[in-house]
Chains A and B, each alone.
Chain A
Amino acid sequence: MKYALFLGCKIPSRLPAYEASTRAVLAHLGVTLVDLEFTCCGYPARNVSRDGFVVSAARNLALAERAGLDVLTPCTCCLGTLRHAQVLLDEDAPLRSRVAQALAADGLAWSGKAAVEHVLPLLARLIGTNKGATVPAAAVSVPRTGLRVAAQYGCHALRPANVARFDNPMAPTIFETLIRATGATPVDWPRRLDCCGDPLHEGNPPLAEHMTRAKIADALASGAEVLCTACPHCHLRFDAVQSGAPDPSLRTLLYTQLLGQAMGLPAKSLGL
């Protein structure tokens, strides 16, 4: 199994542990990752130019297509943005031809062949929590029994569901199932599907902070020991709000780190 790894802008510079743990866990499960010369997914461009956003996204999709690979991303915002661009390209013919023109300047073309996938559903297929798994759940050798974990889904993985095609947007289960697969116990928390506040941290810092703190308080009140993330934006947001405090009141852990621990992979390879 082979994917083009799309890390996006945040992971390499701000959260290298996510890259390390994603690579470690997927290597352990026999997935080959290829690095292409990807650029920004296009998310920041949405605020200034719809065409600019789709061109930015389509360039990446076209690169993967040229390499004959599907795209795998650990970032839910990149997932949402790339899939959003695919939908727009599908439904808007004039946009498609404008984008084709822009891509042609770089000798690229988009035809929609390269699919975009997030790490979580792939892991769900691989470690046997879904039908058609290729690796048995026994890949987990050091179960994290007893650890109470709150799943942070991330908006752009879930909504809009017709674009993200990730899980049931009202009652998703995939993240909790994956947590259970590591031996840990998922906690039910009322705000689990809420926004982490990250998109507002520059435009309206007080509002962003209220949103993040509300989630942290809710997870703590629901008995979580760990807040488990699958998006660099959410993860860094929770860390940023809690930084400065002597001990973060709610520890954040990337899902790939949690799974890596359960698989008995060395902490260093997981960026821990």
Chain B
Amino acid sequence: MSRTLFHMALYAALALGALGLLWRMAAWFRVRIGPDARAVTPAERVGALFRGAASALFSRRLLHVVAALFLDVLLQRRLYANDKLRWLGHLLMFFGFMLLLLLHALAPVVTVPLFPGYESTLAPWLFLRNLCGAMVLIGIALFLYGVWRRRTRFAPVRGPMAAAFIALLGFVLMTGFLLEADKIASPQAFHRMAQENGVTDPAELEPLRALWAAEYGVAFSDLRQPLTPELLEKGRAVHAEGCESCHARPQSAFVSYPIARALASVAGALDAARADVWLLYLHVFACFVGLATLPFTRFYHAVAAPVSLLVDAAAPKREFSAAARASRRALALDACVRCGLCDTDCSVAPLARHLGNPTLLPSHKLIATGALAGGSLLASGHEDDALRAAEGAFLCTDCGRCTSACPVGLDLEDLWEAGRGDLAAANLPAPAQWVRARTASAWAELLRQGQSAHVLSDPDAALAPLSADRNSFSRCVQCQTCTNVCPVVAHSTDPGCGVDLTPQKVMNLLRLGMRDFTLGSRMVWDCATCYQCQENCPEGIRVADIMVELRALAVHRLGAVRNWKAPS
């Protein structure tokens, strides 16, 4: 390969990768998630980073950072605790890849100075290179197996860039192995080296060819003499003089060597096609493509996730300033590796499946939170996505299991809280809040005019069977016992606590066939589900159960006529 071309491509890839990295990292200081993040400027956020880094560097926290580097970043202790198989896959991929990068790709600057006399074709390098490559391949296989094993209806959104990254990595390894195999088997490569070493006299060349055919895997198609022990002995003498210092037997390349054997019959054809040249180009340029696109493939997590882990170690999250918290959240969007371990542990995963709404699940919610901050969720045409994201956000129970499962240690509950703040600012607060925008009768009027197609819904009778069945409330004698024991009614004279109806009046509206007038009622939405009414009703009416069902019905029916639009 021409050195100029190689260097031009290398520097172009490095420059592109570095620019991309800068662009992506700038987002850590630019993207705003949460109402508190809107109060700080990017400059303040950069300042907070430097202050935080400085105070961590000159204090005992430095020990935490070093510990995190080894235990969390290199050894992946959090992943080990949550999923051993994935941990094994990750470590194989990571260490295989890093060793290949350092010892093989960066050999001129790392291996050569460290190990005088290094030759890529000597032991133990042949073996080590194959070992590392095999580690990465096994790691990829374990990863794919893990994805398959954990497949659920709502897999984490990995996107085309994740597949592209895995495919590219696999491609680099396969071309590497093929290139090595081709070089082992290639008669042309042998002759070029023999020539370079001055072995041209047939009396020396033939025995050497015999030896390399017998013991070094070269697939000659034109050997003139049988491989007798004497011939091989002669060959060994020639080999000892010219070749031995650079060439070990290739059998220790335990992946490439069998491939070379398998290619033996086509070695001549490969030589004729200059396979060594184009395989080298493919191998090297695939690496450069990987380098240049690093910030935009899933490989970017190799930058963002360690930064995230180290930042956490540098400062306990409770001590974060608003500026630092804002950056921390933006960083979390990039550091998420879409492993889906949070989804597996999420408390409301069964509900997500029942509602058919993946945004209840943390890995999906993280993406929605990012889309909301980036504005794409509020673009017109995405109303349904925004409404579903809001449903997901407000059904989260804040159980914190996602945070404990996350191998990157993301503070997801903080992200959820910030996201709910952003949703509220976009006029998408919790149902108990948006229902308040109109009075009960205004909602009833809207229902009367509006289409009542449900956006996402169980049928009415399944949502609110009690209020749909006259038998469940027709016995009400309007005795007011429910109202008299209701704490919400009792507190309605306190400032800011007024109600529009009473439980007894809600029951009466149902009796009059005016259910739509209850759906937006303060009483229905402020019911504390204390069950005093139900327990005390002389007629055994399930007043509180009816209240709760009316809320579920309201979420769907009022939601359908709510006609939400993103604030412009």
Contact = CB atoms under 8 A, between A and B. Distances in A.
B465 interface: yes
A200 B528 contact: yes
Interface in A154-210: 155-156, 158-161, 169-170, 194-195, 197, 199-200, 202-204, 206-207, 210
Interface stretch (B184-192, B247-255, B298-306, B548-556): B548-556
A207 B551 CA distance: 18
Interface in A47-74: 47-52, 55-56, 59
A206 B531 contact: no
A48 B431 CA distance: 9
Contacts of A211: 487, 491, 528
Q: Could you say which of A9, A10, A48 has the most chain B C-beta atoms within 10 Å of its C-beta?
A: A48
Given A202-B430, A203-B432, A203-B433, A50 B347 contact: no
Contacts of B458: 49-52
B373 to A, nearest CB: 22
B544 interface: yes
A98 B397 CA distance: 24
Task: Name the prevailing secondary structure of the A interface residues.
Answer: helix
Interface string A89-102: 00010010010001
Interface string B379-412: 0000000000001000101111101000000000
Nearest to A98: B462
B463 interface: yes
Interface string A6-43: 00011011100000000000000000000000011010
Given A39-B347, A159-B531, A199-B529, A49 B463 contact: yes
B464 A50 contact: yes
Given A12-B401, A40-B397, A40-B399, A52 B351 contact: yes
Interface stretch (B112-120, B283-291, B492-500, B501-509): B492-500
A241 to B, nearest CB: 14
B346 to A, nearest CB: 8
Given A55-B350, A56-B351, A155-B529, A44 B397 contact: yes
Nearest to B430: A202
A159 B535 CA distance: 6
A51 B497 contact: no
B534 A159 contact: yes
B548 A47 contact: yes
A45 B487 contact: no
B535 A210 contact: no
Nearest to A37: B345
A94 to B, nearest CB: 9
B355 A52 contact: yes
B445 interface: no
Contact of B534 (A40, A51, A105, A160): A160
B535 A161 contact: yes
B552 A206 contact: no
Contact of B351 (A14, A45, A214): A45
A45 B542 CA distance: 19
A13 B398 contact: yes
B484 interface: no
A102 B496 contact: no
Task: Name the prevailing secondary structure of the B interface residues.
Answer: helix
Contacts of B430: 202-203
Contacts of A194: 487, 530
Contacts of A52: 351, 354-355, 458
Nearest to A161: B535
Nearest to A203: B432
A206 B535 contact: no
A9 B398 contact: yes
A46 interface: yes
B528 A49 contact: no
Given A40-B348, A200-B526, A207-B526, A9 B397 contact: yes
A44 B395 contact: yes
A69 to B, nearest CB: 19
A197 B488 CA distance: 9
Contacts of A44: 348, 395, 397
Q: Could you say which of B400, B551, B552 has the most chain A C-beta atoms within 10 Å of its C-beta?
A: B552
Interface residues of A, number: 47
Interface string B540-567: 0010100011011001100000000000
B444 interface: no
B29 interface: no
B30 to A, nearest CB: 31
Nearest to A92: B465
Interface string B52-74: 00000000000000000000000
Given A40-B399, A47-B551, A48-B355, A210 B494 contact: yes
Contacts of B556: 48
Given A47-B552, A159-B531, A160-B531, A204 B395 contact: no
B348 A50 contact: no
Nearest to B554: A47
A160 B432 contact: no
A142 B530 CA distance: 36
A51 B553 CA distance: 12
B552 A48 contact: yes
B540 to A, nearest CB: 9
Q: Could you say which of B351, B403, B526 has the most chain A C-beta atoms within 10 Å of its C-beta?
A: B351
A186 B535 CA distance: 25
B312 to A, nearest CB: 17
A247 B549 CA distance: 41
A112 B549 CA distance: 24
B264 interface: no
Nearest to B549: A50
Nearest to B435: A203
Contacts of A12: 399-401
B494 A207 contact: yes
A47 B556 CA distance: 10
The 9 closest A-B pairs by CB, nearest first: A13-B400, A203-B432, A159-B531, A9-B399, A195-B530, A9-B397, A40-B347, A206-B496, A155-B530
10 contacts: A9-B347, A14-B398, A40-B348, A40-B397, A42-B351, A47-B431, A48-B395, A51-B354, A51-B462, A102-B353
Given A9-B397, A47-B555, A48-B552, 12 more contacts: A39-B350, A40-B350, A47-B548, A49-B355, A49-B458, A50-B464, A52-B351, A52-B354, A56-B350, A155-B531, A156-B531, A210-B491
Interface of B: 346-351, 353-355, 391, 395, 397-401, 403, 413, 430-433, 458, 462-465, 487-488, 491, 494-497, 525-526, 528-532, 534-535, 542, 544, 548-549, 551-552, 555-556
